[in-house]
Amino acid sequence: MPDVIRLILDDHEWFRSRFARLAELRADPQAANEVWLGLAARLETHASAEEEHFYPALLQQVEGSEDETRDAIGDHDEIRQGIRRAAAAEVGSDEWWAGIQDAREANDEHLDEEEHDDLPDFLRAASLELRQELGARFAGFEDEHRGARGLSGADKDPDEYVSEHGG
Ligand SMILES: [Fe+2]
């Protein structure tokens, strides 16, 4: 049974390696675009999976986690804004790379915060059984929405999210 924390960390490693690969493909926009489309879709699938199956549990399990959750949802929105900026630009243009760079910077900051705060807080509070139950749901969500299928990519309001999910 997968632990949701392990699954999130595995995705983070994959994101880092794909962004590093993209930076090597600066001179080959078509190859870069293939990497980017896969990466952008998975960033959305991952963020949505966390919003469905990780942050609601963090809010329930860890007292005072409203601010870190608000921050995380806001970061997801900034990643989405970078994805939309790139999607609206011509592949290989400066504007396209700028959108990718926006997503990369928002993602780097966000992974650091999750790895230093949200994931350790949850690990301390939640039982292995709960982490595995959430892991199964998280993996199921990522399978169902592979390639960002069925996901709108729209921003979520951080305050509304926290009041809706138990803050
Ligand atoms: Fe996240």
Asked whether the predicted pLDDT for residue 150 surpasses 70, the reply is yes
Q: Tell me the average pLDDT of the chain.
A: 97
* pLDDT value, residue 166: 77
Share of the chain above pLDDT 70, in %: 99
Residue 128 CA to ligand 1 center (angstroms) comes to: 20
Any idea where the domains of the chain sit in the sequence?
4-164
Question: Higher-confidence residue: 134 or 166?
Answer: 134
- What is the Cα–Cα distance from 10 to 122, expressed in whole angstroms? 17
Residue 34 CA to ligand 1 center (angstroms) comes to: 23
Share of the chain above pLDDT 90, in %: 98
* pLDDT value, residue 89: 98
Over range 96-116, report the average pLDDT.
97
* pLDDT value, residue 167: 53
Q: Three-class SS of residue 151?
A: coil
Residue 83 CA to ligand 1 center (angstroms) comes to: 15
* pLDDT value, residue 1: 82
Residue 95 CA to ligand 1 center (angstroms) comes to: 25
Model confidence pLDDT, tens digit, residues 118-133:
999 999 999 999 999 9
Using a CB cutoff of 5 Å, list residues around ligand 1, an ion: 50
* pLDDT value, residue 56: 97
Asked whether the predicted pLDDT for residue 147 surpasses 70, the reply is yes
Model confidence pLDDT, tens digit, residues 12-59:
999 999 999 999 999 999 999 999 999 999 999 999 999 999 999 999
Report CA torsion sign: 24, 29, 30, 33.
positive
Q: What is the DSSP string of 50-93?
A: HHHHTHHHHHHHSTT-HHHHHHHHHHHHHHHHHHHHHHTS-TTS
Asked whether the predicted pLDDT for residue 90 surpasses 70, the reply is yes
